Amino acid sequence: MGASLYLIFLIITMFIGFAVLIARSNRGEDTYNDLETEEWDCPECGFHVQAGDTCIYCGGDKQTSP
């Protein structure tokens, strides 16, 4: 009885670990796709924005064409 319980616990642990690995890899790809990693200088105030399409200093939008 003890050996079978240990076996079931081992299988469940492996299954959870595998599921966490898959979920983490999928979420990582989505996060990287959603994040805007390109740095740009705000045309309104000149603030150097490191992430996102909106200036965190003055709220200005990123302009693709100067």
Q: Token digits for 59?
A: 């709220």
Give 8 or 58: the residue with its C-beta nearer to Zn ion: 58
3-state secondary structure of 49: strand
Does residue number 57 form part of the binding site for Zn ion (CB under 5 A)? yes
Residue type, 30: D
**55 touches 47 (CB < 8 A):** yes
Based on the shown chain and the rule CB under 5 A, indicate whether residue 40 belongs to the binding site for Zn ion.
no
Task: Choose the binding region for Zn ion from 5-13, 15-23, 26-34, 43-51 (rule: CB under 5 A).
Answer: 43-51
Residues found near Zn ion in the complex (CB under 5 A): 42, 44-45, 47, 55, 57-58, 60
